[in-house]
């Protein structure tokens, strides 16, 4: 019988290892961080004026990233992650929050802070609890990645602002609409809300408005981010009044 030489034997051994590894990966085995290929989250951080040079931090279901906004509040971060992601923008004087379902355009404004208050109410938690739970809580992850839940929550917040302050915003999709500070549209809406008292001098939603958003969310609960998607009409429940 002819014996295999060393080189041939090593080739066969390497091939066997490669096949075994391929089979393991195909079956879902091995170590896997769960992170998707690099994707980009971009948007604008503003309060009626740009949050110039704000530090932007993204903490996701899997993965994390950071970047710095430019003088116009625009930011863009490309990194490996699985959504959803909590977004924090801070320029020292002002800190605001938002979220991204995945890659794409996601703004950080007082309206997104208010949106988180409404969603937190729907999920029976607080804004801080919702943001910190993004990496571990399956119900929060499901809700913040569900386009119907998000759209209905935006509609509820828009209705709440209109009912409480008489302000009709230019776009119900304020989380994802592209805009430029100082121009008509979403930024002009923020200026109007600031004048009306819906936004405080530190860029936060007025406490009474934030409380009304939580209450409206509580009145339209969702479970696991799917079944209660139609609860977005709860925005009309806002009863807060403004002291000017």
Residue, of 233 and 221, whose pLDDT is higher: 221
Say if pTM beats, i.e. exceeds, 0.85. Answer: no
> What pLDDT score was predicted for residue 37?
66
Q: Does residue 240 sit within a domain?
A: no
On average, the pLDDT of the chain sits at 83
Q: Does residue 242 sit within a domain?
A: no
Q: Does residue 44 sit within a domain?
A: yes
Mean pLDDT of the 164-182 span: 95
Q: Does residue 31 sit within a domain?
A: no
- pLDDT of 142 higher than 60: yes
Q: Does residue 18 sit within a domain?
A: no
Smallest Cα–Cα separation from 116: which of 135, 144, 82? 144
- pLDDT of 114 higher than 90: yes
Q: Does residue 241 sit within a domain?
A: no
Mean pLDDT of the 72-93 span: 96
N residues, the chain: 244
Tens of pLDDT, residues 227-244: 344 344 444 433 333 333
Query: Residue 195 belongs to what domain range?
Result: 39-223
- How many structural domains does the chain have? 1
CATH number of 119's domain: 2.60.40.1120
- Give percent of the chain with pLDDT exceeding 70: 76
Tens of pLDDT, residues 17-68: 343 333 333 333 222 334 556 899 999 999 999 999 999 999 999 999 999 9
- Give percent of the chain with pLDDT exceeding 90: 73
Q: Does residue 9 sit within a domain?
A: no
- pLDDT of 170 higher than 60: yes
Among 36-50, 92-106, 195-209, which stretch is predicted with the lowest mean pLDDT?
36-50
Q: Does residue 32 sit within a domain?
A: no
> What pLDDT score was predicted for residue 92?
87
Among 12-16, 83-87, 102-106, 160-164, which stretch is predicted with the lowest mean pLDDT?
12-16
């Amino acid at each position: 019988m002819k014996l295999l030489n060393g080189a041939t034997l090593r080739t066969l051994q390497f091939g066997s290892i490669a096949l075994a590894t391929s089979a393991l990966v195909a079956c879902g085995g091995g170590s896997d961080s769960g992170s998707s290929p690099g994707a980009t989250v971009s948007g604008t951080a503003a309060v009626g004026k740009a949050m110039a040079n704000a530090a932007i931090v993204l903490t996701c279901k899997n993965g994390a990233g950071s970047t710095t906004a430019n003088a116009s509040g625009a930011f863009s971060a490309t990194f490996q992650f699985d959504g959803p992601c909590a977004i924090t923008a801070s320029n020292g004087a002002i800190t605001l929050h938002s979220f991204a379902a995945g890659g794409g355009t996601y703004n950080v404004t007082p309206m997104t802070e208010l949106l988180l208050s409404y969603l937190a109410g729907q999920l029976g938690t607080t804004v801080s609890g919702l943001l910190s739970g993004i990496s571990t809580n399956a119900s929060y992850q499901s809700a913040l990645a569900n386009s119907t839940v998000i759209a209905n929550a935006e509609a509820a917040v828009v209705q709440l602002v209109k009912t409480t302050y008489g302000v009709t915003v230019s776009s119900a999709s304020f989380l994802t609409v592209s805009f430029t500070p100082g121009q008509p549209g979403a930024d002009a809406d923020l200026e109007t809300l600031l004048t009306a008292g819906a936004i405080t001098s530190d860029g936060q939603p007025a406490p009474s408005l934030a409380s009304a958003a939580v209450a409206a969310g509580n009145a339209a609960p969702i479970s696991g981010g799917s079944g209660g998607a139609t609860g977005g009409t709860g925005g009309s429940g806002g009863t807060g009044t403004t002291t000017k």
